[in-house]
Amino acid sequence: MARTALRVSGGGDRPQLDAMASDHELWAIALNVEQNYGSEGARHIAERIGGAALAGEWEAVALWKAVAAKYDLLRQDVGARP
């Protein structure tokens, strides 16, 4: 199973970052964003990336970029449905 640099635990807008995130966990985060923010999910993810970058939290930037990639794939699949 592929792993990324971080894992998110906890909930809310400010989850705690742990050691590593699996591909499965990244998909779970992307799905959570899609369910909670729908078409505004990309904006939510961009805000998380921007906030993390401003705070110098580069691991969080990497995590949210990985989530963004999964979210984009998820939204492409949603857009392809009738």
pLDDT given at position 43: 98
Name the domain count of the chain: 1
- Cα–Cα distance for residue pair 23/44, rounded to 1 Å: 20
Residue 64 covered by a domain: yes
pLDDT given at position 53: 97
Residue 12 covered by a domain: no
Q: Is the Cα dihedral 47, 3, 59, 9 positive or negative?
A: positive
Residue 31 covered by a domain: yes
Q: Which of 40, 28, 34 is nearest to 75 (CA)?
A: 34
Residue 11 covered by a domain: no
pLDDT in tens, 34-67: 999 998 999 999 999 999 999 999 999 999 999 9
Domain of 66 in residue numbering reads as 20-80
What burial class does residue 62 get, using C-beta atoms within 10 Å of its C-beta: 0-12 exposed, 13-18 middle, 19+ buried?
Answer: middle
Hey, what long-range contacts does 52-57 have (CB within 8 A, 24 or more apart)?
A: 57/17
Residue 58 covered by a domain: yes
pTM: 0.73
